[in-house]
Structure 1
Amino acid sequence: MSRVEDRSHYRLPAEWERQSALLLTWPNPDGAWSANLDAIESDYVALVEAALRHQRVVLLVPKGSRRDRDRLGEDRPGLHRIEARYNDTWIRDYGPITLCRVGQRLALDFHFGGWGGKHESGLDNLVNTHLARHPLFDDIEFRQCHLEIEGGAIECNGDGLLLVNRHCMRTRMPFLDDAELDHELSRWLNLKRVLGIDVEPLPGDDTDGHIDTLARFVRRDAIAFQSLADDAATRDLNGQLEALRDADGRPFELFSLPHPDDTDPQLPASYANFILINGAVLVPQYNSRFDADARDRLAQLFPDRTVEGVPGATLTTQGGGPHCASMQIPTALN
C-alpha cells in the first residue's frame, strides 16, 4: 500500500503535539448504538462541537444516512465528512497510527480483529484502506501491518517510549513473548523502549485492559493514572508505575486521577480516557461528584490548555470513553 520502506527517521508523536485533525466516527443507526441512538448522538454532537472549537474534525459517517447532518448541520467550518462503511465507533482502535518526520507522515494500518474476536470487525478493518484513497489523506503514506495492535493499547511520550499493559498484549497476541512483542513494536514504531505494566482490565472493559483506561503520559517524564475501585489494585498500579524508568534510568513523576465511585461499578468509567487536542484537554464526564475534581487535576497538569468536559457516561455502556472514540492525526514535523 505504501511507497515508504524506511521508518528509521519517523517518530511516533505524543498526543499533546500539534494535530491536523481529530478523527471521529458517527454512530451507525443500525449498529451497536441502535437501542440508545438519541443519547449517543447527543454526546457525539457535544464531542464534535468541543473539538471544532480548537481544530479540524474529520467525521466518518454511514453511507446513506443524514442523521449526522440533522444533528450537526449541513456545512460547518472545519468539519469534513467522509462516507464509509464500518461496524462501530471505536476508531481509536482501528484508525491509522501516524508517525511523522520532517515534511512527511506515515500512517500504519495495523490489523484489527474486534478485540480478539469478541465483536464483528470486518468493515472496521477496511477503514484505513478507504482513508488511504481519500483526497483528505493524499499527503499521508499508508502502510499495512499484520500485527493486531489497537490504538488504545499503546501510549507514547513522543520521545521513543511506549507504555503498554502486558495483560492486554499477551491476550491479544499470545504467540509472542514479551521480548518478541517489544521487538515488533520497536521496529514498527521506531521506539527506544517499551515500558510495561501488568494489570487486569476495568469492569466492563472488553479490550482486555487498554492502557488508555489506566495510565497516560502527560509530559515526557510524567504519567497520570486512574485510581481504581479497589485500594489494593490502585497501590499495585501505582507501584508498577513507580518501578518504570525512562531512557536515562529516571523514574516518572506520577499523578492520580479520582475514581468515580458513584457510577455503575460494572462500567469502565475512567478519567484517564481524556483526549488531547490543539490547545485543549477534553475530559470525560460521568455525572459524578468527581467530574470537577478530574477537570481540576488535569488543568494543573496542562496549564497552557483549556480544559473542557465532554460526555462519557453513555459511551461506557458499550465499554469505552471519549479517547476510545477518537484518533488524532498529527501534523508533519517542521
Structure 2
Amino acid sequence: MRYFPAEFEPQSFVQIIFPHPESDWAPYLEEARECFVNIATAVARYQPCLIVCDDVGLVKSYFKNHDNLVFIPYQSDDTWARDCSALSVIDEEEEEPLLLDFTFTGWGGKFDATRDNALSSSIAKVYGAPMEKVNLILEGGGVETNANGSLLTTAECLLNPNRNPKLDKKGMEHELKKHFGVEQILWLHHGYLAGDDTDSHIDTLARFIDTDTIMYVKCDDKNDEHYDALKKMEEELKTFRDIDGEPFNLIALPMCNPTFYDNERLPATYANFLIINDALLLPVYNDPHDAEAIAICEKAFRGRDIIPIDCSVLIRQHGSLHCVTMQFPEDISLRVE
C-alpha cells in the first residue's frame, strides 16, 4: 500500500522554478522575480527552499541571504512547479518514500511543456528518494489529499479528454487509488475561475487544511459570473463524507473582486495558499477582501504564522502562489553537494 502525505503534514523542503527571460514572464520579468524572491524568502524562514533556475549565479544575486536556499541549474519552459514537479508518496511495505513523475503536457497541450515534463527526472539526483515514471497525465494542482484515505479533485480537469482520453471515471479512479493509495475519490462537478488555464484545478477552488476540514472559495455577489457555479460547488461539498461517513468541516474564503489585465479577467483566488512547517503563505491581490481572507486564515490555522504574499503579478499568467511551489514531505531529503 501507498500513503499520500498531505500538505499540512511535516515537510522537508519546498521547490520553486525561478522566472527567466524565455518564460512567459518576459514582459514583466523583474516584477515576477520580486514575487518569487518573496515566496522563497518566506519559505526559507521555516525550511529549505530548492530554487531551480537557468542561471545560478544571477539568481543568487537576487537574494540578500542564502540561508536555507539551495540552487540547481535547469532550463525550464516555465515556472509552474506545482504541475511539473514529482508528487511524493510513501511505500508502506518498503517503508520508504517514492517520487511519482507523472506526464505534464502543458494542461492538455495548451502550451509547450517538453522541458518542464523532463524537469523531475533531470534533477532527480537532488532528491533523497527513488523516482518512478508514471505513464499518466496528471498535475499536482489537480489533486488534494486529507491524509486519511480521501482524494479531492474536479471532474472538469481529471476527466477532461485533453488529459487521458482513454480513461473514463472508473478507470481514472483505479489509477488514482493505485498510485496514491487512497480509498475514495471525491469529485467536484461544479466550480471554476475565469482566466484559469488548468481546466479547474482543485487548488484554485477547495483545499484540505486538515484531515476533517475543507477550505473553499465562496462568491456572495449574485451579479458575478461565478456565483451560480460556486454556489453549486458549495452544495456539493456539503454532501461529501470522509471514509468513516462523517461530513467535513467547511470554511469559506471570500471571492476577490473582478481583476483584469489586458482586458482579461484573472483567476485571483485565496484558496491557492501554501501550507509549510509552522506557517501559511497566503496569496493576496491588493483587493478589499485581503484583510478578510487573512483573518479567516488566522482563525483556521492556529499555531501557524500567516504570511501574506502579494501575488498580483502571478495571476497575470493565470496562476498564483500554490501553483508556483511544490512541497516535499519530511521523508524525502534534499541532497546538497
**Is TM more than 0.5 here?**
yes
1:243-280 alpha-carbon deviations (Å, 9 max, x no partner) = 11110111111111011115337100010000000000
Partner of 2:42, secondary structure, is helix
Q: How much does 1:294 deviate? A: 0.6
Cα deviation, 1:86-112, whole Å, max 9, x if unaligned, reads 101001001010012576210000000
CA contact (8 A) 1:153 1:165 kept: yes
Give yes or no for contact 1:262–1:289 (8 Å, CA) kept in 2: no
State the Cα deviation string for residues 198-238 of structure 1 (Å, max 9, x = none).
12531110100000000001111110101244332222010
Aligned counterpart in structure 2 of residue 147 of structure 1, from 132, 136, 139 = 136
- 1:4 equivalent in structure 2: none
Structure 1 length-normalised TM: 0.92
Q: Deviations over 1:117-168 (max 9, x none)?
A: 0001000011111122x2x31x201000010010000000011210000011
CA contact (8 A) 2:104 2:137 kept: yes
Q: Tell me the residue number matched to 2:270.
A: 271
Contact 1:267 1:317 in 2 (8 A): yes
- Partner of residue 55, structure 1: 47
Aligned to 1:167: 156
Partner residue, 1:42: 34
- Which of 52, 68, 71 is the matching residue for 1:81? 71
Displacement, 1:318? 0.4
- 1:170-198: CA deviation from partner (whole Å, max 9, x where unpaired): 11223211111011100011111111011
Mapped contact 1:223–1:252 kept (Cα < 8 A): yes
Structure 1 residue corresponding to 2:213, chosen from 205, 222, 241:
222
Q: What is the aligned counterpart of 1:13 among 5, 17, 20?
A: 5
- Paired residue type of 1:126: A
User: Quick one: which of 29, 39, 44 aligns to 2:21?
Assistant: 29
CA RMSD of aligned residues (A): 1.5
- Give structure 1 regions of 4+ aligned residues with deviation exceeding 3 angstroms: 64-67
Structure 2 runs not aligned, ≥5 long: 333-337
State whether structure 2 residue 118 is matched by structure 1 residue 126: yes
Task: Calculate percent identity across the aligned residue pairs.
Answer: 33
SS in 2 for 1:51: helix
Using the alignment, how far apart are the partners of 1:32 and 1:57 within structure 2? Answer: 23
Task: Name which of 70, 73, 82 aligns with 2:61.
Answer: 70
TM-score normalised to the size of structure 2? 0.91
Return 5+ residue gaps in structure 1 as ranges. Answer: 1-7
SS of match in other structure, 1:147: strand
The offset of 1:28, in angstroms, is 1.4
* Superposition deviation, residue 65 in structure 1: 5.9
Aligned to 1:3: none
| Structure 1 residue matching 2:61: 3-state secondary structure | helix
Alignment partner of 1:181 is 2:180: no
Following the alignment from structure 1 to structure 2, what is the Cα–Cα distance between the partners of residues 174 and 251? 32
Residue 97 of structure 1 aligns with an amino acid whose one-letter code is: L
